[in-house]
Amino acid sequence: MTGKKVRTPQERSADPAAHLLLEFAEAAGLSTAFSRADTLAPCPIGADGLCCRNCSMGPCRLVKEGQVGVCGATVDTVVARNFARAVAAGAAAHSDHGRDMAFTLKAAATGQAPDYKIRDPYKLLSIARILGVPTDGRHIEEIASDVADAAIAQFGQQTGQILYAKRAPARRQRIWQELGYIPRGIDREVVEVLHRTHMGDDQDPEHILDAAIRCALADGWGGSMLATDISDVLFGTPSPLVAQMNLGVLKKDQVNIIIHGHEPTLSEMILAAVSDPGLIDYARSKGANGINLAGICCTSNETLMRQGVPSAGNFLHQELAILTGAVEAMVVDVQCIMQALVPLAQNFHTEIITTSKKVKITGATHIEFDEHHALDTAREIVRRAIDNFPNRGETRIPDVRSDVVAGFSHEYINYALGGVLRGSFRPLNDAIIAGRIRGVVADIGCNNPRTTQDAIHQYVVREFLKNDVLVVETGCGAIASGKRGFMLGEAALEVAGPGLREVCEAVGIPPVLHMGSCVDNSRILTVLSQMVTEGGLGEDISDIPAVGMAPEWMSEKALAIATYAAASGVYVIMGVTSPVAGSETVTRLLSEGWRAKFGGRLEFITDPGEIVRRALAHIDERRAALKLPEYDASQWGKSGDRRVLELLQLPFAERQAALYGGPVAVAATLPM
Ligand code: NFS
């Protein structure tokens, strides 16, 4: 997309709910990220990573063959530095979220945040073991307090190794150990990338990328993993539940509050506040029939998978929600919040409320959230939203919503596959070994207005399902699939290939598993590690027939995720654009270079068909390396619910022929 051409709503989004609102926005002359992406062409020099603005001798825009910056920095150095800085910013965002969760746990454990409780003591005990916190004979609050301290210490640790690195398979740990990639402390690795990429420091692209890798690993196996674990301890480990997605979850006759951002700390309290009978009565006194809470972005994934709070949509739905005219308050905390929300909301009655100490937006109302009196703040926010209800004007809520089954933590997948006593990944490994499931794809990451919203997510997911590939999803990719109906067993199984369908029907799971928010990509690392431990699929994550992808990515966090996944042994594909396109050397280092070091690699591929082809080729190549049978869909589909239904439709004699190859003597006793 080169800008200038104004796209139709259908070219801008694959979501019918978006079409209606984009038409309205055009007619009303209101700008959105979609329209701004059309009129604001991306800078081609910056897009390829070729603009260095790390000192005031520049910015140096390196556009000619062999050109260097004022200081002499080469294209390869500049591109590697820009990439590493983006990884550090992404890792910092995820990890700071993890740190805040650890401080909330500390406050909850020591009675300073009375509105929070330990909801999953079993998870607390399991992470206490990993963090070396004694548990025998101790009160749960004491353990929680020490777990919080141990977690907080992971951020400031100066030497040694982060403790969660030992959750990786033994062979993976050895690779990191030998190459010196195990992070020492989370903050230290972020700081080191910023230092090394300062003017006049590290000027060897491979060496710069090494620092980015260690920093990213500190995110995936550190900050993000802690964020996930502590959120589960405080708010409950997810297990499947039914909920709804898309803008049709907004209610015309109720006060609508949208929670948008990332940390579950505030949103869980707002959920508690909207259930307060006093506030519901107050809403009635203002003419509303109740209070409706819905999420956007990863806050939505957090509250959807734990509490069933409906999702109003993914990243590019944040402005669309305001365009409905039906949102009394959009409450935001950190990350992925567009500054454009404030001027857009000024055309409606919607109040944008910032709540984080770290995020203020000029023109928004700031009500700072403090976990020590969390519920009081949440009530104040809900009351403001109710007060705003009488100011509502005309509304346009698209009548578009889908049911979803969400909440597949790795603990639940383990349980689903074996029950309470025999929970294990054995059935999943066996299904892959046999070829019923060809492999696994993690489709994650953002929307990007420079491509058609949700279209690539939905295309690749459909193709993988057809090819008997189990799909796990997080972040805005998960919401794209949910909106399309892929997270509902029946709908998705219509698309799924015969082997995958048999397994999903037998186990009772959809073929697309919602595994949470973007910090919950750490759950995927855990699943992959447990699959290795289970046996039969090699000795390392890089042996598993699995691929990760973010086909509509836009955020620096996505680059951090891609980097830690590749360094963990995963083949990662990113769509839309390549931030390292300006350097063949860096492009090769991320691909062949990382493959030689880690068995995983990172590639940027814009063509969706090519993304699918390369992913399937990698899965088949991994199958061949493990000496597993070649994938052959024609072998499957002879069992499972669908086959039973088909057989029951057949006349008796034909059913016998299908089942037994002809009439059998005991036919009369067989069910008709
Ligand atoms: Ni991930 Fe989740 Fe969405 Fe992208 Fe933003 S919400 S943290 S960064 S846009 S997937």
pLDDT for 421-469, tens place per residue? Answer: 556 788 889 999 999 999 999 999 999 999 999 999 999 999 999 999 9
- Predicted confidence at residue 217, as pLDDT, reads 98
| pLDDT tens per residue, range 367-417 | 999 888 899 999 999 999 999 999 999 999 999 999 999 999 888 887 777
- Predicted confidence at residue 658, as pLDDT, reads 67
Worst-scoring range by mean pLDDT, 155-159, 164-168, 314-318, 650-654? 650-654
| pLDDT tens per residue, range 68-94 | 999 999 999 999 999 999 999 999 999
Residue 446 Cβ contacting ligand 1 at under 6 Å: yes
Give the closest residue to 331 by CA, choosing from 349, 353, 347. Answer: 353
pLDDT-derived band of residue 489, with 50, 70 and 90 as boundaries?
A: confident
Name which residue sits closest to atom 7 of ligand 1, judged by CA.
Answer: 518
Distance CA 594, CA 360 (A): 39
If one residue of 476, 483, 515, 549 were mutated to test the ligand 1 pocket, choosing by the most ligand atoms within 8 A of its CB, it would be 476
Distance CA 254, CA 256 (A): 6
DSSP 371: G
Residue 425 Cβ contacting ligand 1 at under 6 Å: no
- Predicted confidence at residue 423, as pLDDT, reads 64
pLDDT-derived band of residue 564, with 50, 70 and 90 as boundaries?
A: very high
Distance CA 140, CA 442 (A): 35
Residue 95 has pLDDT above 70, yes or no: yes
Helix 498-507 to helix 640-649 angle (10° resolution) is: 100
Give the closest residue to 448 by CA, choosing from 331, 316, 619. Answer: 316
CA of 148 to the centre of ligand 1 (A): 26
Q: Estimate to the nearest angstrom the gap between the alpha carbon of 279 and the chain centroid.
A: 33
Distance CA 482, CA 480 (A): 6
Please state the atom number of ligand 1 nearest to the C-alpha of residue 93: 7
Helix or strand holding residue 472 (H, E): strand 469-473
Give the closest residue to 635 by CA, choosing from 491, 497, 460, 480. Answer: 497
| pLDDT tens per residue, range 114-141 | 999 999 999 999 999 999 999 999 999 9
Residue 315 Cβ contacting ligand 1 at under 6 Å: yes
Structure tokens at 400: 């578009």
- Rg over CA atoms, the chain: 25
Name which residue sits closest to atom 8 of ligand 1, judged by CA.
Answer: 555
**What mean pLDDT do residues 509-521 have?**
93
Cβ neighbors of 218 (< 8 A, separation 6 or more) are: 91, 95, 162, 183, 185, 186, 189, 190
Question: Exposure of 81 by Cβ count < 10 A (0-12 exposed, 13-18 middle, 19+ buried)?
Answer: buried
Give the closest residue to 160 by CA, choosing from 129, 190, 126, 186. Answer: 186
Residue 147 Cβ contacting ligand 1 at under 6 Å: no
Name which residue sits closest to atom 6 of ligand 1, judged by CA.
Answer: 297
Residue 657 has pLDDT above 80, yes or no: no
pLDDT-derived band of residue 624, with 50, 70 and 90 as boundaries?
A: very high
CB 364 within 8 A of CB 352: yes
If one residue of 444, 557, 559, 561 were mutated to test the ligand 1 pocket, choosing by the most ligand atoms within 8 A of its CB, it would be 557
Residue 574 Cβ contacting ligand 1 at under 6 Å: no
pLDDT-derived band of residue 2, with 50, 70 and 90 as boundaries?
A: very low
What residues are paired with 331 via a beta bridge?
Answer: 259, 353
Return the residue matching tokens 């006793």.
669
pLDDT-derived band of residue 1, with 50, 70 and 90 as boundaries?
A: very low
Residue 494 has pLDDT above 80, yes or no: yes
- Predicted confidence at residue 636, as pLDDT, reads 83
Distance CA 243, CA 140 (A): 32
pLDDT-derived band of residue 508, with 50, 70 and 90 as boundaries?
A: confident
CA of 267 to the centre of ligand 1 (A): 17
Return the residue matching tokens 């301890």.
233
Name which residue sits closest to atom 9 of ligand 1, judged by CA.
Answer: 446
pTM above threshold 0.85:
yes
- Predicted confidence at residue 663, as pLDDT, reads 63
Mean per-residue pLDDT of the chain: 93
CB 69 within 8 A of CB 54: no
Residue 672 has pLDDT above 70, yes or no: no
Residue 561 Cβ contacting ligand 1 at under 6 Å: no
What residues are paired with 603 via a beta bridge?
Answer: 573
CB 356 within 8 A of CB 334: yes
Helix 205-218 to helix 75-109 angle (10° resolution) is: 20
What residues are paired with 547 via a beta bridge?
Answer: 441, 571
